[in-house]
């Protein structure tokens, strides 16, 4: 029997389950390991493939295991689930990971660097604070947007005669929290702006209309190397910016946008695209351009999603060819 060729590793907080198998799939060991035993145990194993489900901690362990000389493969959990046999437990999960990792057509997640994870942490924290700020609302109506918080504050003070005192005091507490959250968000956005200016990749992304510092850092933090994708459409599909296929019998049937990919980058690209669409609705784009033709016959949201798809393909082309953004209108002229 051959030696260990693959180790399936089921991660947890303190206890890990390892499933070792040889090249023909026969089980060599099933072992439960504590957190402190994991690296030492894998260091004693011959060079092999170590597979794990992709999660936040998997990138940390992936870097540590890769330093031992092993090949690390991270698999999206949804692709592991079909390989779990009946009962779900740590041993079954580790075995399923090992079986999924050796499939020839399996898709893997790139191990993120420390800088990528740090950028992702800043981005996620900003996203959390923005959501918390949005949740602090009551029935008093004011125009939408952070810039109109002062109007809301004035409306609450003017409504003292009609609102209960308890509601007014609670609203004042909310407004204090909103002000504090806004300050923290501004601080994090400055950090993202500084980080975006340091890397050549993010500086190149900033040349694309509709992509700002936050979007550029999100692509830097969450997207794998662009060389992973064969073409720009594959990157757009990874983001969930392509239609769902329900094709059968040789007939191609396309549905709505799939939304099956990386939601953070997808949301930011659509937001940036919507900004361009709103601008184009107020100021007519160049006559005969793609955007002008689309706005004449399609709803604005649909145009924004289509534009976000084009932006994703542009990002792939720019990063794979090391080129800045080229305005298609200027190129055509």
**181-195 core/surface letters (b: 16 or more CB in 10 A; e: else):** beeebeebbebbbeb
The number of residues making up the chain comes to 333
Domain boundaries, the chain: 6-101, 114-198, 209-332
CATH assignment, 6-101: 3.30.420.40
Work out the average pLDDT over 182-198: 77
Q: Are 216 and 223 in contact (CB under 8 A)?
A: no
Work out the average pLDDT over 27-38: 93
Q: Which of the listed ranges 25-34, 149-158, 184-193 does the model predict with the highest average pLDDT?
A: 25-34
Work out the average pLDDT over 229-253: 87
Work out the average pLDDT over 55-84: 93
Quote the pLDDT of residue 244.
Answer: 84
Q: Are 303 and 263 in contact (CB under 8 A)?
A: no
Task: Give the pLDDT band of residue 188 (cuts 50, 70, 90).
Answer: confident
Work out the average pLDDT over 184-212: 81
Task: Give the pLDDT band of residue 333 (cuts 50, 70, 90).
Answer: very low
Work out the average pLDDT over 198-211: 84
Q: pLDDT tens digit string along 256-288?
A: 887 788 888 999 999 999 999 988 888 877 777
Q: pLDDT tens digit string along 117-126?
A: 888 888 788 8
Q: Helix, strand, coil proportions of the chain in percent (round to 5)?
A: 55, 10, 30
Quote the pLDDT of residue 74.
Answer: 95
Work out the average pLDDT over 8-19: 92
Percent of the chain with pLDDT over 70: 86
- Residue 278 CB contacts under 8 Å (≥ 6 apart), including other chains: 300
Which of 12-21, 113-122, 299-308 shows the lowest per-residue confidence on average (mean pLDDT)? 113-122
Quote the pLDDT of residue 148.
Answer: 59
pLDDT at 331 over 60: no
For the chain, the first-to-last Cα distance in angstroms comes to: 67
Look up residue 82 and give its DSSP letter.
G
Burial (CB count <10 Å: 0-12, 13-18, 19+), residue 142: middle
pLDDT at 52 over 50: yes
């Amino acid at each position: 029997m051959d030696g260990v060729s693959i180790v399936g590793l089921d991660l947890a907080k303190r206890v890990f389950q390892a499933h070792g198998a040889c090249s023909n799939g026969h089980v060599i060991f099933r072992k439960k390991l504590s957190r402190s035993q994991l690296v030492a145990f894998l260091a004693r194993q011959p060079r092999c493939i170590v597979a794990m489900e992709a999660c936040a901690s998997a990138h940390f362990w992936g870097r540590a295991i890769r330093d031992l000389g092993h090949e690390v493969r991270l698999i999206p959990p949804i692709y592991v689930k079909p390989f779990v046999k009946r009962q779900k437990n740590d041993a079954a999960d580790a075995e399923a990971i090992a079986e999924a990792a050796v499939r020839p057509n399996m898709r893997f997640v790139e191990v993120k660097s420390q800088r990528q994870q740090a950028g992702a942490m800043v981005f996620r924290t900003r996203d959390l604070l923005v959501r918390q700020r949005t949740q602090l609302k009551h029935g008093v109506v004011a125009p939408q947007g952070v810039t109109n918080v002062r109007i809301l504050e004035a409306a609450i003070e003017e409504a003292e005669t009609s609102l209960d005192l308890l509601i007014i005091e609670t609203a004042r507490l909310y407004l204090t929290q909103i002000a504090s959250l806004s300050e923290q968000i501004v601080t994090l956005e400055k950090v993202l702006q500084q980080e975006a200016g340091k890397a050549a990749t993010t500086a190149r992304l900033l040349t694309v209309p509709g992509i700002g510092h936050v979007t550029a850092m999100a692509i830097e933090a969450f997207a794998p190397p662009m060389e992973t994708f064969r073409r720009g459409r594959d990157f757009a599909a990874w983001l969930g910016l392509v239609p769902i296929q329900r094709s059968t019998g040789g007939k191609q049937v396309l549905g709505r946008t799939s939304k099956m990919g990386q939601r953070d980058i997808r949301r930011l690209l659509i937001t940036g695209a919507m900004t361009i669409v709103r601008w184009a609705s107020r100021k007519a784009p160049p006559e005969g351009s793609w955007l002008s033709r689309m706005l004449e016959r399609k709803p604005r949201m649909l145009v924004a999603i289509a534009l976000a798809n084009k932006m994703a393909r542009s990002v792939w082309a720019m990063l794979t060819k090391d080129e800045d953004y080229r305005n298609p209108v200027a190129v055509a002229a």
